[in-house]
Amino acid sequence: MIKLSDISTDAPKKLEKKDVQKETKELTKKIADLHETLIAEKKNSLLVVFQGMDSSGKDGATHNTFRYCSPSGLSAYSFKKPTEEEFAHDFLWRVHKQVPGKGEIKIFNRSHYEDVLIQRVHGWIDEEKVNKRIAAINAFEELLVFDNNTTILKFYMHLSRERQQEKLQERIDDPTKNWKHNANDWEEAKLWDKYMECYEDVINRSSVPWHIVPVDQRWYRNYIIAQKVCETLESLNMKLPTIEAK
């Protein structure tokens, strides 16, 4: 049973930032090479889910992990408030259209979990629907795994409440980050305890495991994610196709 309050949001004290950043750079270059093989082989796909509170660094994680990858076979999608058309369908309808095909990496900035997080926190759905949606999500993810060779990596961006307040204020104080400011983020931050309760429940009831990533130090966040993505791609044992001799 995962208890988020028992897990540190900080990097281990013994680590040297420069050494970690150097290793992270090597990992991200290796990810680019493995991605090229993934594209060429066209047997597997990778879905990377970044989920976390506002200002936890989902965009930064995407940029830093895949910075050396070819844009071919790589895309990201950010889940916003559903449109009228999306509201007229089941909650997974808009998600299924965005999953990766064979030979592709897809990044979800937020995800299908919004529909059992924000809606639950605000009481827009009852607990019966929450339970059914969690079951549907588990079945959906299992479908992607067994029916399309999709490996799913789910990262919970583990941010401290104090660090979130700093990052939200930074969006006001730093002119280069004003465009990120959303007054509603401060209102959502007031619901921190309820969000943590809902995140813990989702994480502990998920069939596909979550990786809890401490993100208070961005350099450590980048390292942990790059390490896991690289390790996962290597585990697929991919090979570049060759021309068979006649």
Question: What confidence tens digit (pLDDT) does each residue in 67-92 have?
Answer: 999 999 999 999 998 999 999 999 99
Q: Helix 58-65 to helix 218-235 angle, to the nearest 10 degrees? A: 50
The answer to whether position 46 is within a domain reads yes
Position 183 scores a pLDDT of 83
Q: What is the pTM of this model?
A: 0.94
More confident residue, 232 or 168: 232
Number of domains in the chain: 1
Are the C-beta atoms of 158 and 7 separated by less than 8 Å? yes
Residue 90's CB: how many other CB atoms inside 10 A?
A: 12
pLDDT digit string (tens) for 35-52? 999 999 999 999 999 999
Q: Is residue 103 part of a domain?
A: yes
Q: How far is CA 154 from CA 72, 162, 190, 213, in A?
A: 22, 24, 25, 10
Residue 50, in any domain of the structure: yes
pLDDT bucket at 246, cuts 50 / 70 / 90: low
19 domain residue, yes or no: yes
Q: Can you state the percent helix, strand and coil of the chain, rounding each to 5?
A: 55, 15, 35
Q: Is residue 244 assigned to a domain? A: no
Tell me the pLDDT tens digit for each residue of 94-130: 999 999 999 999 999 999 999 999 999 999 999 999 9
Residue 200 forms part of a structural domain: yes
pLDDT of residue 245: 62
Q: What is the dihedral of CA 33, 34, 35, 36, to 10 degrees?
A: 60
Query: What's the pLDDT tens digit per position in 170-195?
Result: 899 989 989 988 888 888 889 999 99
Average model confidence (pLDDT) across the chain: 95
Q: Does 171 map to a domain?
A: no
What CATH number is associated with residue 134?
A: 3.40.50.300
Domain span including residue 227 = 4-157+192-235
Top-ranked range on mean pLDDT: pick from 160-169, 181-190, 228-237: 228-237
Q: Tell whether 92 is covered by a domain.
A: yes
